[in-house]
């Protein structure tokens, strides 16, 4: 199993309904392929973590590279892992988590720019998101979901 993390810049014409459509498709496809993960979207940038079988994740990332909803894709991390951070989601997403800016100020200043993060910081960020989502889930609060309306 591997964990893959990438960042990209959102295309100018991407709207929230485009993200909703993307999430529905990704969640279904990822569940069928045994891939779990988290997508963060700030309106300007994407930050995504994918976890699963190497072949399935590589195939998924190949499709992502050709998606017209973003550009300047930069692979940050691709490494073996034995632990899934997002096992409960085919593709997790939450505006609540985005609105908190994922506590990135200590690494990037006041704005969300994933290109400014080092791989170790991105890994720590996703680990924090995973733990935050699990705590919120236990407390019955808004957690990562496949709907950007949350």
Total domain count, the chain: 1
Q: pLDDT 10s per residue in the chain (150 long)?
A: 999 999 899 999 888 888 888 888 888 898 899 998 888 887 788 888 899 999 999 999 999 999 999 999 999 889 999 988 887 766 665 443 444 444 444 444 456 677 776 767 767 777 777 776 666 554 544 444 433 323
Indicate whether 91 belongs to any domain. Answer: yes
Indicate whether 94 belongs to any domain. Answer: yes
Residue 99 contacts residue 108 (beta carbons within 8 Å): no
pLDDT at 75: 93
- pTM for the full predicted model: 0.74
Domain range for 42 is: 2-139
Residue 44 to residue 10: CA distance in whole angstroms: 5
Indicate whether 46 belongs to any domain. Answer: yes
Indicate whether 146 belongs to any domain. Answer: no
Backbone angles phi, psi at 112, to 5 degrees: -85, 105
pLDDT at 115: 77
Indicate whether 17 belongs to any domain. Answer: yes
Residue 9 contacts residue 113 (beta carbons within 8 Å): no
Indicate whether 147 belongs to any domain. Answer: no
Indicate whether 148 belongs to any domain. Answer: no
Residue 24 CB neighbours (<10 A): 14
Indicate whether 145 belongs to any domain. Answer: no
Residue 22 contacts residue 69 (beta carbons within 8 Å): yes
Read off the CATH number of the domain in which 75 is found: 3.30.70.100
Residue 15 CB neighbours (<10 A): 10
């Amino acid at each position: 199993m591997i964990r893959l993390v990438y960042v990209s810049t959102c295309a100018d014409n991407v709207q929230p309904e485009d993200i909703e459509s993307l999430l529905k498709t990704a969640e279904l496809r990822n569940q069928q392929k045994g891939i779990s993960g988290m997508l963060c979207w700030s309106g300007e940038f994407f930050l995504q973590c994918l976890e699963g079988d190497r072949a399935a994740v590589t195939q998924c990332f190949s499709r992502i590279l050709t998606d017209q909803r973003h550009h300047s894709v930069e692979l940050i991390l691709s490494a073996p892992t034995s632990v899934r951070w997002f096992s409960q989601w085919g593709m997790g997403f939450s505006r609540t988590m985005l609105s908190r800016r994922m506590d990135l100020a200590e690494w990037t200043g006041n704005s969300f720019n994933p290109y400014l993060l080092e791989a170790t910081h991105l890994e720590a960020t996703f680990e924090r998101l995973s733990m935050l989502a699990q705590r919120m889930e236990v407390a019955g609060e808004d957690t990562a979901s496949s709907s950007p309306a949350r």
